[in-house]
Each structure stands twice: as structure tokens, then as C-alpha cells.
Amino acid sequence: MYNTFLNNDFREKAKALVSQMTIEEAASQLRYDSPAIERLGIPSYNWWNEGLHGLARAGTATVFPQAIALAAMFDEKMLKEIADTVATEARAKYNESTRLEDRDLYKGITMWSPNINIFRDSRWGRGQETYGEDPFLTSRLGAAFIEGLQGDGRYMKVAACAKHFAVHSGPEASRHEFDAKATAKDLEETYLPAFKTAVTEAGVAGVMGAYNRVNGEPACAHSDLVEKRLREEWGFEGYFVSDFLALLDFHQGHKVTKDAVETAAMALKASCDVNAGIVYQEVMKAYEKGMVSEDDIRKAAVNAYTVRAALGMFSDDCEYDSLGLDDIDTDESAELAYRSGINSIVMLKNDGILPLDKNSVKKIGVIGPTATSLEVLNGNYNGTSSRYIHYLDGIRDAVNKDTKVYYSEGAHLFENKVQNLALDDDRLSEAEMVARNSDVVILCVGLDATIEGEQGDTGNAFAAGDKTSLFLPDSQRRLIERVVKTGAKIILVCNTGSAIDLSFEHENVNAILQCWYSGQAGGKALADIVFGDAVPSGKLPVTFYKNGTEPDINDYSMKGRTYRYLPVEPVYPFGYGLSYNKYSYKDLSVTSSGDNYVCHVTVQNNGSYAGDEIVEVYISNDPQEKLSNGKNDSVENLSYSLDADNQPRYSLCGFGRVSLGAGESRNVDITLGKTAFDTVLEDGRRVKLAGAYRIYVGGQQPDERSATLTGQGCLETVVNIER
């Protein structure tokens, strides 16, 4: 991608522009709020814009389901289509705004998205922004989103930015002074693969550094991660930007420098090109003290201006200049938000109550604090839709005209009462009366971005945006218990951006739908699933743990975390999700051509609905299992020592979404990931070892809990890798 977008023509144009600047002017362009250089005809530009799941914080835009929900689709193609729509709306807003000389933040075309950090701890508030806990899934979805944003034209449509580099996933409260300790193995095996893919395959234009330190060094000026890995090994040629105000942490939180001048020098020397914040206002002082050179300043400015040139900012023939207001909030983008809303819903339980028959259900009770909430449609880093459909409206719009729909808020999201002057639990009796008078209850519970999210963002409650437990808030747990006691039939709708311990709910309700933060059409998507006008197909991109079973959130070791290293049974496993159909698998085989391996399998829809099945392929990379001929040497003939407790049980290495009519079967080919047969040694070396590798294929991972929940297992075969 760099050959297309950050090619020599754009770099030469950047060099020519920067060469005409004074050293002071060049230094000023390293700020995220870059001022105009009027004598050169260069307008001001603000680098900060967001496009996580729709153009954010700039007014009207299409609001898609939150990133974690989009991950549940396991669908690279649709995610790329969504990203392309985000890019279209960002370009259109940029064009219209600049015509009016509005060059404020959130109106540019450098998007600080996607977030490809690994969701290693389900308490982390910002986990909702990620594509889940698996490095392969995150790599593939991150690459698709980046490619969708940047486009395939002569110029970049918008510039994507992979964040937060690296080893960042909480805790939020201490991130400005926190030192994430990660082993060489965990870095190579878990924390870095998605970033490497973003750079080497997707050609991402930008990379954002994290707030924290990594093994003692600030992430925004890390000698190994930024200079050696990112720039030298991976060949990154784009711009590196600090997270907002992250450079202040160098001297205020991490205490690795004494003041802003030293910080500016340290970051600039370590290849941080653009500062989101105020520290680079001190770059000229660092220059005057001899702490940075003119070459350091101009090199960073050229990196930044190469991206701006690739975006067509200094040209009059950019193919995206014609986009405008008519390209924002369209019927087509609304339809895409609706379809992604359907595909992201994960059905966690169904005792047969779903789908509901509209003709037989005469009284429906819609209860819960998220039933009429727009916040659970938005998630964080969101835009503002003109077409919101919340759950109550979605249900009412879908039912027959003679069906009665009752409603009760039931409880506050997290406080003990709805009305300040009332007694505690002031809506529980109303919820009970609704439940007792309904044929079925749709019980809407969960969280929103006021509870879980980024530290300080909209004043997140509790632990700076992180969760303190995996249970729903007490107010909602009391509501659930009250409704359960009525004996009503209950369909639980859960809106969160993270895993919740739903053990009680699983045992006491009839069906559970995990709807995440479901986007502007969330209510219509839910209703269509509930009434069988659409079939659930989403799969969990994270493990739903039992409360209290996760390691300390400050511990960045992967031992005991995610499905790959989990020593205990979860409530719901990664990769799990039910359908109204049953799908069967047969005729599994794996073929190879050189280093490329392709899994072949026949999938059949044994149900009565047309629907999508997500085919999941896992590999058990335990190379110490003996081959029939007894060989068990490294392909490279390396001596090695593996810690059995620190090896993945198995890893996702391929996936694909297949659409099947009722009774239809299809042969499916899935190419395995390029690193599927790699083993990461304790010292971080990635090698291919001879041995027998088990390949598992099915609609789930090959664990006992998934088999128990679904009543079926995976097919498996063995691939032998020899010297």
C-alpha cells in the first residue's frame, strides 16, 4: 500500500514543501493543530478525527454498531464496506467544512482509527473499541477496516491510524504512569501481530502511541517498538502520533524526563512525528538547546506532509473532492447500519422461545433501563444519527396493530432509584405488574459509555471507565430477579461493550441476546431477530468469564487470559453463538501449496431458515506431539524449550461467513493465516517446528463448554510438518 499512497511522488512533494519552510514553520507543523503558513498558501489543519464505527463527534453521521459488535460479525468484507462508508462521510464533511473555512478538530481526513489493541481483560472500559481478544481476528478485521478507510484510488480517501501502539488494554485509572510488563513471547504472540499486519499488509498511514510505558520505556518513544520494530523491521513510512497529551506523561507521570523541553526532544528523536497535545510547542526550545537537530524536525515534517500529500491536500485533481452533504447519512448507509446491526447480534441462549410468532403473542412487556436508551445504540467515539431506532420503538413498529406493548424502565442503569425523592427500587413494582400482564417479557439491560469507556470521557462512573466486576449493576440485578420471580417468559437483551457474567441469567431466563452497542438501527435489528425476520449469526469475539476468575488487571502476562490460555470454564466461550438453524460439517481436508494451507469443508444448513454460518478454523500448535515417523525437530533445526503452561491450547487461524438457504450445503475453502503453524518461543523468536498439528473446524471453538452449549463438536484432522 505504501507503493500506492506514500510513494515517491507524494514524498517528493512533501520534501519540496517542507524545504520552503523556515525551521520555525516546519516545527509548527508537528503539532496536531498545525497552524496555517500563509506565505506558502498552506491552510491550518487539525489532525484529530475519529471514525471508530462511524464518523464521530462532527455532527450528523451514520452510526454503526460499536467496534466490538462489528467484530462479532466475523466478516472482513462487510467491515471494509462500513469503513469505506465512514471514509466517504469524513471526506464529505471535510470538503463542506473547509469550503466554509471551518478547520476544527473532528473535521479532517486523518482518522485516529481503528483501535487494534487486544481486549485481554474484560474489565477494561475501552475494550468496546477493539475487535476482541484474538490476535488473528484483530489482524484480519483491522486490515479490512484500514483498507476500507484508505481506499484504492490514486489518493487516499482518508488516512487510517492504528492505535494504541503498543501493549495497551488498561487499567484506565493509572495509564498515565503505568508500566505494562510484557514478555518477549507475549509481545510477539499476542500484542504486536495486528500492528504488524496493519503496517506490512494494509499499509496503514498512521500509528498512534499509547499512554503507558512498556517494559520501562514510554510507548510513544520506545526504542525497540517504535524505532526498531515499527520503522526498521516492518518498514513503516507513515506518520507516528502520540495519544492526546500522552507526551506530558513523560515528565509528569512516568518521570523519565524533567520537563516539556526534554520530553519534546526525547519523543522527536524517537520518531514521534506529530504531537497530539501541547508538548511540541517546545520543539524550538529543544532545537535552540541543541537537543534536536534541524534534520530531526524536517524529517518528521516530511513524514507528516507525505500523508497530507497522499490525501490530495496540495493537489487539484483528487477524486474525492466532489463528495458533499448528499453523501452523508444516506439511505444506503442506513441500510448498512441495519444489516451490520443484525449480523452483530449474538444469541447466547434459546430454549425454543425464539423466534416469537407475531400472530400468537398478544401482550409483550418491554422492561429495562436500556429499552429506550440512545446511549446503548451509540457506544463511545460516536457520531449523531438522524435515524435512531431504540428497542421499544423497534418492537412496537414490528408487531401487529392488535398486539399490546407495555413498557417499564424498571430500574436506573446503576443508581438505586430513578426519581431522586423516591424510595430505593422505585420502578420494580411497575416492572412486576408489566411482567405479570405480559405473554412474554423483553428485558433490556446492560451498560453504556457513561459506565464503561475511556478515562474522563463523559465522566465514566466507577473505576475511571473500567468495570469493578463482571456482574451487571446491582440495580439491574435486582430488576432481573424481580421479573424472574413472576414466572414470566423472558428474553434478555444485553447491551454492553464487554463480557458480563450472565450465569444467573443463563439459568433463569428463556433466551439471551447479546446486542453490544448496536448502532442507529439497533431497535429494528433486534425486532427482526426476535420475530424471525432475520436469523442470528454473530459469534463472541471475547470470552465471557465467570466473575473473579480473571488475573489482576495490572498483570500483562497472557497466562490465564483469553480462550487460548484459559484454565477454567467460562460462562460463554470465544467464538460461540447460536442460530435458529443447525449447521453440520463434513468432508474436512487440508491441502498445501508451498507455505499456503487451505482448509476444505462442506457445510450444510439443516434448519428451515436461510441464514449465515460463521466457519471457524483453529489450530493446536503443540509441536511436541509425535509424528508417526518419530521426527520432532525444528524446521530450522533450532533447540527449543517450551513452557507448557504458556502455550496456546489452540488458536483461531481462519474464518469465513457463508450464506446458506434452508437445506442447502456448500463446499467452503478457507485459507489459513500465514503464521498458523508458527510457534513463538519464550525469547520471542517465531519459528516453524516439525510436528503434528491438529486442525479443528466448526461453528465454534473445540472446547467442552462450546460442545455442551451447542450440543455438537468440531471436525478435526492432523497436518504433519516435517523438516
Report, as residue numbers or ranges, the catalytic residues: 243
Question: How far is Cα 702 from Cα 612, in angstroms, rounded to an integer?
Answer: 20
Write out the three cell numbers for 137. 481476528
Question: How far is Cα 225 from Cα 218, in angstroms, rounded to an integer?
Answer: 10
Write out the three cell numbers for 11. 514524498
Contact yes or no for 693/717 (Cβ under 8 A): no
DSSP string, 193-233: HHHHHHHHTS--SEEEE-SSEETTEEGGG-IIIIIIIIIII
Question: Rg for the chain (alpha carbons), in Å?
Answer: 26
Contact yes or no for 150/401 (Cβ under 8 A): no
DSSP string, 452-463: SSSTTGGG--TB
Q: Residue 449: what residue type?
A: A
DSSP state of 280: G
| CB-based contacts of 390, cutoff 8 Å, min separation 6 | 371, 372, 373, 374, 377, 522, 523
For residue 430, count other CB atoms closer than 10 A to its CB.
Answer: 16
| CB-based contacts of 718, cutoff 8 Å, min separation 6 | 692, 693, 694, 695
Q: How far is CA 116 from CA 54, 165, 168, 344, 564, in A?
A: 16, 9, 10, 18, 18
DSSP string, 131-188: --S-HHHHHHHHHHHHHHHH-SSSS-SSB-EEEEESS----STTTTT-EE---HHHII
Contact yes or no for 68/131 (Cβ under 8 A): yes
Write out the three cell numbers for 561. 487470559
> What residues does 583 pair with on adjacent strands?
605
> What residues does 613 pair with on adjacent strands?
658
Measured between its terminal Cα atoms, the distance across the chain in Å is 34
Q: How far is CA 149 from CA 86, 316, 322, 379, 671, in A?
A: 7, 21, 17, 20, 24
For residue 203, count other CB atoms closer than 10 A to its CB.
Answer: 22
Write out the three cell numbers for 524. 429494528
Strand order, beta sheet including 596-605: 583-593, 596-605, 665-671
Question: How far is Cα 498 from Cα 511, in angstroms, rounded to an integer?
Answer: 19
Residue 4, burial from CB neighbour count under 10 angstroms (0-12, 13-18, 19+) = middle
Contact yes or no for 71/145 (Cβ under 8 A): no
3-state secondary structure of 112: coil
Question: How far is Cα 482 from Cα 434, in angstroms, rounded to an integer?
Answer: 11
In the chain, how many H helices and how many E strands? 20, 23
Write out the three cell numbers for 44. 491550518
Write out the three cell numbers for 60. 450528523
